[in-house]
Structure 1
């Protein structure tokens, strides 16, 4: 009997390691997606000569496939392919990404804005499907009771979320670093080709893995109609509905001016692309550090308090951007490049700091069996929120008459941004003020 238990224990440890390898690769590639997207920004600006508003519209519209994540989640939860309902979707999403980036890579430099938009939409469709399946695995494993065996490495709530967060951050650091280094040395097409080959490699590795070897909990297969009913029932729980609504609105209410800031830094300040790459590396490094800090010290902190603090910090750094555009830091001897590397890089990723504590909370609130649907619904709501935020930013830029050569109204726009960012804090009571813990198992 003891040997049987030991065998089960070794098998569990092996499953956990393989599952972490699959998720680690998936989230690492997800983080590395910043590599081609950094190139896209410069390609649109310098190759296709788009203006700030057009750039932001294209970047925001490319996120439209993310809005369909609840559908992908429902299909992933309900439709099994050869007895599997996570790994095949990860592989299919990787295939779509490889195909779309390869199409961009072999297209002529005179590619139309419409054509590249279609390819970018296809790429994000693949990324969305892959992310839904990966997030569902994390949510499923996060609900498992922690092991009492010291020899095992349990995927308890919070630990696995931190692990994949760190994997994604490492991918982001490397992607932005390589992007900043090679963007002026290699053609955009060659960089797009490199990423397409990388995602193709992920595809071939993924299809070689059998889902049963990951040790996922065995949930009964149900039809899409029943799964939709369960999702509807879950969303009727006030703690889930209010939390997701607040989280999405905390992004949607902010009129983002990312396209304007990109043009301001590259056109007006003439900051080199390598500096922007280093800035993004610094930001991704802080995300990596955040994952470690949260996992070690902040998992027991109230989600409401932690998320509200992050929201207030975002507003504070937007005010700092206002001072930067007004030339305040330049006057006191801080070089523009130093500010861009540290503060701009940090602000860009700070928007995503809220995800880690929030997804841990939501995984705990999520009913058994519809983890993929709930997490997909969250990401869909956030994707829609970012699209709304981007379009509001375009409207704001138009209202205050910002162009690719006239940034006189930019400081005022940044102050409006900061004010809008503070508003959700007044309704932070929508987030549960506790962290649900699992009962400890007795030996």
Structure 2
């Protein structure tokens, strides 16, 4: 038998280890809750941005009476601040405020958005113009892009920890989708009951709430991985350029951006076709967007549970091909094919158009997880920001190409005779990126390369 003193020592050691383990588990649980609260709110607000934008679109159409091409130019031009995301990422990676380099940027971006929407809501009727609204929307999107960069960097940093990347990415995807569902649902209902100013004001108040919740969170409580790189902006820029020279980094980014940019967007024309030509009510369009956001929500859940092991090249290529098929379906819809089969226009718009509108974004989830795995430590913010800015620029190019295509097929707000031809051209352009999908690396290859490094 062991002496009683030795037995007591072993008992005390075990108790001490159990206490430490319990404290560590409690700390991890608290850290996880803090992360999910901050990121969940951030991505929820990001998804809910469709609420005020619903009011913007109808205000441009009915209030300022702009044509489809002008509306599409504004929608895409307002996204120009998104193109500068690498700069915001470099700032976030390099400059710390009170020992923090993510929280301050989220708070600043939220407040900048709030100021923008409050300003639009308070504009006197005599001064409202296409130019003034465009300027304020640019400021609002500047704030939104800063928030998105910081949030994406947080997801990438937290994703460096074992078994956390896909789960956290899927969580934020679901949070954004829920925000989109509520935003579109409330937007479709509110547009007929409240003025656009009231909707802008309500969203501004939400952003103020986000600001105060964000500044109440300490970045230390998030237990982020320690950054061993230097924080100078020149060093961060040098690191980013070094990373971007790697084929496994720049090739998938190049393909992904091109897969969006090459497709001429006809969203403005479709909106006018549905509201002006078919006389579809705004509530139906709202339900269509809600259906699309529900599909986004389900996509996040299904991907996390069933599809995260599928090679990214295969999954993204399938999504790209499905987009082309649905665009051909849209051409049939415009020709009246489904109407002759007894399918109401409103049903097609809710189910197919709503799904196609969000299908563009399905590719982003597996691609962002892929890039987070490839991203070296220390430049998460700048690299993920570069990826997102590439996507933003691609969408802008897509929008401008759509304006050019609408002009080529001679579509106006009253004449849609060439719309079907435009949709078929759009479908052909969507198929083209599939011919060089080899730029997207397969998962086994990634793991192999990472082991070599």
The two structures have a TM-score, normalised by structure 2, of 0.94
1:192 to 200, 214, 236: 200
**Cross-structure match for 1:106:** 122
1:109 deviates by 3.6
Equivalent-residue separation in structure 2 for 1:339 and 1:141 (angstroms): 41
Equivalent-residue separation in structure 2 for 1:342 and 1:327 (angstroms): 16
2:79 to 30, 52, 63: 63
1:118 to 120, 135, 138: 135
- Is 1:16–1:215's contact at 8 Å kept on the other side of the alignment? no
Deviations 1:75-106 (A, max 9, x none): 00010001000000000000011000001111
- Is 1:91–1:203's contact at 8 Å kept on the other side of the alignment? yes
1:5 deviates by 3.0
**Cross-structure match for 1:34:** 50
Matches within 5 A, 1:72-91: 72-91=88-107
- Is 2:79–2:138's contact at 8 Å kept on the other side of the alignment? yes
> Does 2:414 correspond to 1:397?
no
Equivalent-residue separation in structure 1 for 2:207 and 2:326 (angstroms): 35
> Does 2:184 correspond to 1:176?
yes
For residue 100 of structure 2, give the secondary structure of its aligned residue in structure 1. Answer: coil
- Is 1:166–1:287's contact at 8 Å kept on the other side of the alignment? yes
> Does 2:290 correspond to 1:281?
yes
Equivalent-residue separation in structure 2 for 1:18 and 1:157 (angstroms): 16
Equivalent-residue separation in structure 2 for 1:68 and 1:335 (angstroms): 43
Deviations 1:239-277 (A, max 9, x none): 110000000000000011110000000011010001000
1:6 deviates by 2.3
Give unmatched runs, 5+ long, in structure 2: 1-15, 449-453
Equivalent-residue separation in structure 1 for 2:193 and 2:43 (angstroms): 27
Q: 1:109 to 1:262 in 2, by over 3 A?
A: farther
1:8 deviates by 2.1
Matches within 5 A, 1:312-351: 312-351=321-360
1:425 deviates by 0.4
1:437 deviates by 5.4
> Does 2:281 correspond to 1:264?
no
Count of equivalent residues: 430
Equivalent-residue separation in structure 1 for 2:226 and 2:377 (angstroms): 11
Equivalent-residue separation in structure 2 for 1:143 and 1:280 (angstroms): 34
Select the structure that is richer in helix: 2
> Does 2:419 correspond to 1:410?
yes
- Across the aligned residues of Structure 1 and Structure 2, the Cα RMSD in angstroms comes to 1.2
> Does 2:313 correspond to 1:304?
yes
> Does 2:254 correspond to 1:237?
no
- Is 1:63–1:387's contact at 8 Å kept on the other side of the alignment? yes
For residue 361 of structure 2, give the secondary structure of its aligned residue in structure 1. Answer: coil
Equivalent-residue separation in structure 1 for 2:207 and 2:360 (angstroms): 26
Q: 1:437 to 1:144 in 2, by over 3 A?
A: farther
Equivalent-residue separation in structure 2 for 1:97 and 1:237 (angstroms): 36
Give unmatched runs, 5+ long, in structure 1: 147-155, 439-443
**Cross-structure match for 2:4:** none
**Cross-structure match for 2:264:** 255
2:237 to 228, 235, 243: 228
Equivalent-residue separation in structure 2 for 1:203 and 1:68 (angstroms): 22
1:145 deviates by 2.0
